[in-house]
Amino acid sequence: MPKCLECDAEITLKADVEAGEIIDCPDCGTEFEVRSVDPPTLDHAPQEEEDWGE
């Protein structure tokens, strides 16, 4: 099980978790991006830029 990069809490991934999905640490609430499901690797969620596009 992956650990929170901030508070080391263990983060259980849901069965239908997808690569690219954003999840929150249940303890400290930090947002992480699931970079890959197998093996489960987390990264800090990218800082949200004001979006636009066609």
Please check whether residue 45 is in contact with residue 5, taking contact to mean a CB–CB distance below 8 angstroms: no
* Choice from 10, 33, 40, 42 touching other proteins (CB under 8 A): 33
**Residue 21 is a binding residue for other proteins (CB under 8 A):** yes
CA–CA distance, 34 with 42 (Å, rounded to integer): 5
**Residue 28 is a binding residue for other proteins (CB under 8 A):** no
* Choice from 7, 9, 22, 37 touching other proteins (CB under 8 A): 22
**HSE, side-chain direction, 13 A CA sphere, residue 1:** 11
Catalog residues that contact other proteins under the rule CB under 8 A.
18, 20-22, 33, 45-46, 48-54
